[in-house]
Structure 1
Amino acid sequence: MTLANDNAPLAGVAAPPFLTGRTRVAGVAGWPVAHSRSPRLHGTWLRWYGIDGAYVPLAVPPDRVAAAFAGLPALGLVGANVTVPHKEAALAACETLTDRARRIGAVNTLVVQQDGTLHGDNTDGFGFLENLRQGAPGWRGSRGPAVVLGAGGAARAVCVALLDSGAPEIRLLNRSMDRAEALAGSLDGRIVCAPLSESSRAMMDAGLLVNTTSLGMAGQPPLDVDLEPLPTDALVTDLVYAPLETPLLAMARGRGNPVVDGLGMLLHQARPGFEAWFGVAPEVTDDLRRVVLEDGPS
Structure 2
Amino acid sequence: MSGPGDFDAFWRGRRATAALVDPCPRVGGVVEERDGFRIHEVSYATPGGRCGALLALPSEGVARRGFVVGHGYGGRHEAGADLPLPLPGSAAILPCAPGLPAFGNRPGVPSDPDGHVLHGIASRDTYLIGDCVAGLWGAASALLELAPSLDGDRLGYLGESFGGGIGALALPWDDRFAAARLTVPTFGNHPLRLTLPCTGSGESVRTHVRRHPEAVEVLAYFDAATAAARLRIPVLTACALSDPAVPPPGQFAVYNSLAGPRRLEVLEAGHIPYPGEAAERRRLGRATEEFFGRWLE
TM-score range, shorter chain: under 0.3
> TM-score normalized by structure 2?
0.28
- Would you tell me which structure has more strand in proportion to its own residues? 2
